[in-house]
Amino acid sequence: MLDWTDRHCRYFHRLLTKEALLYTEMVTTGALIYGKGDYLAYSEEEHPVALQLGGNEPTALAYCAKMAQQSGYDEINLNIGCPSDRVQNGRFGACLMREGGLVADCIKAMQDAATIPITVKTRIGVDDDDSYAFLTDFIDKIVTDSQCRLFIIHARKAWLSGLSPKQNREIPPLDYLRVYQLKKDFPQLTIVVNGGIKNIDEAKQHLHHLDGVMIGREAYQNPALLTQVDVEFFDQRSLVIDPIIAVQTMYPYIERELKQGTYLGHITRHMLGIFQAIPGARQWRRHLSENAHKKGADVTVVKQALEFITGN
Distance (Å, whole) CA 79 – CA 1? 11
Is 82 a residue of the active site? yes
Helix axes 132-145, 176-185, angle to 10 degrees: 40
Q: Which amino acid is at 145?
A: D
Largest CA distance in the chain: 61
Strand partners, 50: 23, 75
Distance (Å, whole) CA 31 – CA 245? 36
Distance (Å, whole) CA 191 – CA 110? 20
> Are residues 159 and 172 in contact, defined by beta-carbon separation less than 8 angstroms?
yes
Count Cβ atoms within 10 A of the Cβ of residue 117 and give its class: 0-12 exposed, 13-18 middle, 19 or more buried: middle
Instruction: Mark the binding-site residues, compressed into ranges.
Output: 52, 121, 154, 194-196, 216-217
Residue whose C-alpha is closest to residue 139's, from 181, 201, 202: 181
From the list 9, 64, 82, 95, the catalytic residue is 82
Three-state SS for 72? coil
Instruction: Mark the binding-site residues for FMN, compressed into ranges.
Output: 52, 121, 154, 194-196, 216-217
First to last CA, the chain: 35
Distance (Å, whole) CA 17 – CA 238? 6
Residues labelled as active-site residues: 82
